[in-house]
Structure 1
Amino acid sequence: MSQIPQWVVDALPTRTKTLQFLETLAIGTIGGVVFLVAHLPGGLISGAMLAVGAAAMLGRRMAVPAHLTQAVLVLLGISLGSLMSRQLLQHIGAYPLTIGFLALSTFGTTFGSSYYLQRVHGWDRTSAFLAACPGALSQIALLAVEKGADMPAIAVVQTLRVIILTAALPLILVLTGLTSASAPALAITVASPLELAALVAASVAVSLVIRWMKFPASWLFGAMIGSSVLHGAGLVDGGLPPIVRSIALIGIGMLIGSRFSRMKLSTLLRHFTAGVGSFAIAIAISAIFVTIVAWTTHVRFADILVAYAPGAMDAMLALALTLHIDPIFVGAHHLSRFIFVTLAIPGIVHLFGRPQEDVDD
């Protein structure tokens, strides 16, 4: 009997990793379902995120394999793409203005939050700038290692910002009447098996192409593009089954909550005040620009709020899917912010961070 090739053995998940994922899946699903039954806004995402995050902080090793992460992002992108044909031209004339204000908001929140971290908590300039920068966490982590910054502290501030936004934003939008907590009527009909196969094939194909082009968030945006083209051209009518869409939303919540597995409770407590304080500064500065955009454009206030929220791109787009928010507007702005941050943060750290020789001492 021929032996299994070593590369196949290496690719298979270990028993420990499989059990960790199954535990994460069970806890995330229970949390999401509880929040959904309680009719809490954004219930599947928020419930899964908080349940998995709490388990992680209690010492359980929460994890989602990379391939399943990619699958979740593709499913989310397909669901978002099914909305695009209806909303493609909505507010598109306002995009240059609103994206311009978003750039100012991004740099304002970065400098404002970093100044707070330096003055109030005594952080070094490099760590403060990297912690204050919204989004692009993978690039920030690489820069933190390269520059010798305090990565655990940066991770606490970045993770708390995402957790607070993902949990609080749906409640704020619903309680203020800016949107509805009920499930949106998106893709009422379920695509046929052949159409579903075409959606998946097109989404994966586009994702692979733009991933090869080094496009940011390629699995999410590739699936959005593939799905939107098929829907916009009238080649596909309908979307994913509701249960599959729910799995994607729970998956996003699990991904966010599992970030707490990478930090110790003592690290979280040590930097908790810094994280909450810098978040408050960022929200205050963002609110100024949200107000300006709301006064100068005809874009819905709820759409602006989610588009300008300094949170994770996948989480904000998932919330757009569940809260009647325009996914095109939100996606365009969070992608723009990702590009701003990716291009600008190395230069900002070089100019305003601590000198390299200080790091090496």
Structure 2
Amino acid sequence: MKNKKFLSKLRNIYSEIKESYKAIFIGIAGGYIGTLIGLPLPWLLGSLGLNLCFAFTSYNIDFPTKLLSPVFLIVGIILGGTLNASLLYKIHLWVYSSVAMIICTILSTMIAGFYFYKVCKFEKLISVLAALPGAFVPISAALLEFGKKDSHKAVLIPQATRVIFIVSFVPILFIKQLGFSEMSGYGFVNIYDLKYFLEITFLVIICFLFSGFLKRFNIPSPTLIGAMALSGILYTFEIVNSRFPNTFINIAFIFLGTALGSRLNGLKIKELIFFIFHGIIVSSILIIVAMLTAYLLKEFLGFDFIPTFLSFAPGGIHEMVVISIAYNIDPIFVSYHHFLRILSIVIVLPFLLNRFREN
């Protein structure tokens, strides 16, 4: 009986992949183009962008939401994998910057949300989701799970614009201040032996079980939230050390980007220009707030400005960590503060989505 149910699930997954093969192929092509042109988060934003291009045509593309559960699980583990044991020995030095990060996140959201609400005339909750400074993947996952299509374009395009704009701006600033440095990797080296596969298998299973536990409490995006929180703890205490290889990560991002892009069918060129324009303005505001926070921490508490700004600039967490490694800045300092911002946003998301359901 159990074997029949398992085979039935496999058939359902296969049929869903078969239905969405067009979108997946478009996503793969978009991700590859993203790597060629140097796009930040290339496999995510590239696959989203090319699927978005087809949204202006009559070509029908579809991507079932059911395929996203394993993707959310992997992405959550990826985010948790930015931490390691050295955090335990340093976190007591970052109490004030941690408080500053939470204040900065709240302040940035209030300013950007006010702009979207007053200037762009978004609904209040959509204004807040579009304004959240970071956590693009958790926000995207929550939107896909929530399924309110009218909110997708108003949130996803400004959020994607923020990632591209800030991740493009920060390296220019660093090259001007510190000179050019090669940016090539995250600093993790996997040894693909039996221990590696046992650790990855253990990590996937325990995160999956923990996500199922959270689901009982009706927490939105339990798969992504559970995987991110639990894997972060396991990596910090070095219970596991193995990370997913880049190829696996890229595949997960292709699926996620494809799902996001396929939800934007019917978008008009005027709407796209409108969202990108205001997304750039809000991104500039977020950079100014991050700079001001880093300056205040430097003046009053002795933090170095450049590492602190890198930690507070709400770009992609992986891109910021890569920049920190390239310029010999403590990657744990950078990843911890970005992880803290993402975690604080993820904790707030359920309350926002509950408000969505009520309306």
TM-score, reference length from structure 2 = 0.70
Partner deviation per Cα, 1:174-223 (whole Å, 9 max, x = no partner):
222268562126223x3242221232133224424542246762223333
RMSD over aligned CA atoms reads: 4.3
Structure 1 residues 304 and 56, CA, compared in 2 at 3 Å: closer, same or farther? Answer: farther
CA contact (8 A) 2:55 2:266 kept: no
CA contact (8 A) 1:208 1:219 kept: yes
Instruction: Provide the secondary structure at the position in 2 that maps to 1:12.
Output: helix
Q: CA deviation at 1:13?
A: 2.9
- What are the ranges of 5 or more consecutive residues in structure 1 without an aligned counterpart? 146-150, 351-355
Q: How does 1:245-284 map to 2 (within 5 A)?
A: 245-266=246-267, 269-270=270-271, 273=274, 276-277=277-278, 280-281=281-282, 283-284=284-285
The percentage of counterpart residues that share the same residue type is 10
1:287 aligns with 2:295: no
Q: CA deviation at 1:296?
A: 1.0
1:156 aligns with 2:153: yes
Aligned counterpart, 1:331: 339
1:61 aligns with 2:61: yes
**Whole-angstrom distance in 2 between the partners of 1:138 and 1:239:** 23
Mean Cα displacement is larger for which, 326-335 or 281-290? 281-290
Structure 1 residues 144 and 221, CA, compared in 2 at 3 Å: closer, same or farther? Answer: closer
Q: How does 1:176-191 map to 2 (within 5 A)?
A: 176-177=173-174, 182-184=183-185, 186-188=187-189, 190-191=190-191
**Whole-angstrom distance in 2 between the partners of 1:60 and 1:328:** 41
Partner deviation per Cα, 1:229-281 (whole Å, 9 max, x = no partner):
3xx36x75x655xxx32330352254135313123334674475256426623
TM-score, reference length from structure 1 = 0.69
**Whole-angstrom distance in 2 between the partners of 1:88 and 1:223:** 15
Aligned counterpart, 2:169: 172
CA contact (8 A) 2:207 2:226 kept: yes
**Whole-angstrom distance in 1 between the partners of 2:81 and 2:163:** 19
Aligned counterpart, 1:353: none
Aligned counterpart, 2:297: 296
- What are the ranges of 5 or more consecutive residues in structure 2 without an aligned counterpart? 326-330
Partner deviation per Cα, 1:287-309 (whole Å, 9 max, x = no partner):
22442234414266366446552
Aligned counterpart, 1:219: 227
Opposite residue 115 of structure 1, the aligned amino acid is: F
CA contact (8 A) 2:30 2:50 kept: yes
Tell me the matched-pair count.
328
CA contact (8 A) 2:19 2:63 kept: yes
CA contact (8 A) 1:102 1:333 kept: yes
Partner deviation per Cα, 1:330-358 (whole Å, 9 max, x = no partner):
21221123224545x489x79xxxxx9xx
CA contact (8 A) 1:32 1:48 kept: yes
